[in-house]
Amino acid sequence: MPLDLTATSIELTRQICDIESVSGNEKELADEIEAALGGMPHLELFRDGDLIVARTDLGRPRRVVIAGHLDTVPVNGNLPTRFETEGGVDYLWGRGTVDMKPGVAVALKLAAELIEPSVDVTWLFYDHEEVAADLNGLARLARTRPDLLAGDFAILGEASNGAIEGGCNGTMRFDVVTRGRRAHSARGWMGENAIHKAAPVLSLLAAYEPETVEVDGLEYRENLNAVLASGGVATNVVPDECRIHVNYRFAPSRSAAEAEAKMRALFEPLGEFELKDLSPGARPGLDAPLAQEFLAATGREAKPKYGWTDVARFSALGIPAVNFGPGDPSLAHMDDERVDVTQITACEQALRDWLS
């Protein structure tokens, strides 16, 4: 069935979630969004692959970009959606109900209904957020049509429990590799055990105390963790290689180069350092006039975003950006992913009041 944009934002969330759109399979949902918004006289539509842009062009002096991604992580027995009541709270349960189709539903409903918003608005629905960065639809648009991302302020509808979360931490992944020499485990003295050589790496990680860094009035907690470990070739062979895969989440006051230099200084004395991925964070940007107006209009207090989100892509373009959406981010990607439905309507009303 086609999307019904006259439905409540709660029901629209359910409609969108029930269109399975695991990364790489966003086409059906993108088609439905294009069909639902197409022909509306107050919107200009653009499509790039499975990315949809809908814009007002009212000649307002300021423009806001409101964005959300269409894809989800893989389904695991949690579609179709269903409503549940737990502890007196009404939830919509299922894949995408937190990350991040409620934010998409709110944006879709408002895009259709706000014919003359107080600012010009670019509504952006994009693909491939949950996978490798080089596939990300927002990044693709920044390369090919940066004019469609232009704005004075951006809101990403990522789950934030209905709070306003400014900026985001940066993220870095790297391997620390220790080398040894293979030998039969019955004659271990003839080899060098690479896994044993990794002990100082693990000791450093276990003892490391991450910093809490204040950035523009918000406190960002850093994190440093081993997230994968691998080594060995057989149960009777002394291993000649061990890899510890490390994830460093760093405060947005650090540049990507500074974060890399800090990690290299810690780990290069202990093994080979192989950088795998590095994405800078985003400063809160809460001193921007539109950000201040948004905070005042919603009556919400700004909080830091510890995880990395695509607000960093807006920040890199010089556009201050915040995260604001329904859903508890700790439930994102969980098999029991679910959203308190009152958060969906609250976020819709906050955005509607501000944009009206």
Q: Which amino acid belongs to residue 168?
A: C
Q: Which is it for the CA torsion 39, 40, 41, 42, positive or negative? A: negative
For residue 23, how far is the Cα from the chain centroid? 14
Which residues, at least 6 apart from 112, have a Cβ–Cβ distance to it below 8 Å? 5, 36, 37, 40
- Asked if the peptide bond before residue 100 counts as cis, ω within 30 degrees of 0, the response is yes
Task: Please tell me the distance from the alpha carbon of residue 315 to that of residue 84, in angstroms, as a whole number.
Answer: 38
Beta bridge partners of 51: 48
197 and 298 in contact (C-beta within 8 Å)?
no
Distance CA 315, CA 322 (A): 10
Give the β-pairing of 63-69 and 153-156.
Answer: parallel
Separation between Cα atoms, residue 261 and residue 171, nearest integer Å: 14
CA–CA dist 172, 246 (Å, integer):
8
Q: CB-based contacts of 276: which residues, under 8 Å, 6+ apart?
A: 173, 174, 175, 245
Residue 25 CB contacts under 8 Å (≥ 6 apart), including other chains: 71
Query: Are the C-beta atoms of 125 and 68 separated by less than 8 Å?
Result: yes
What are the catalytic residues? 71, 129
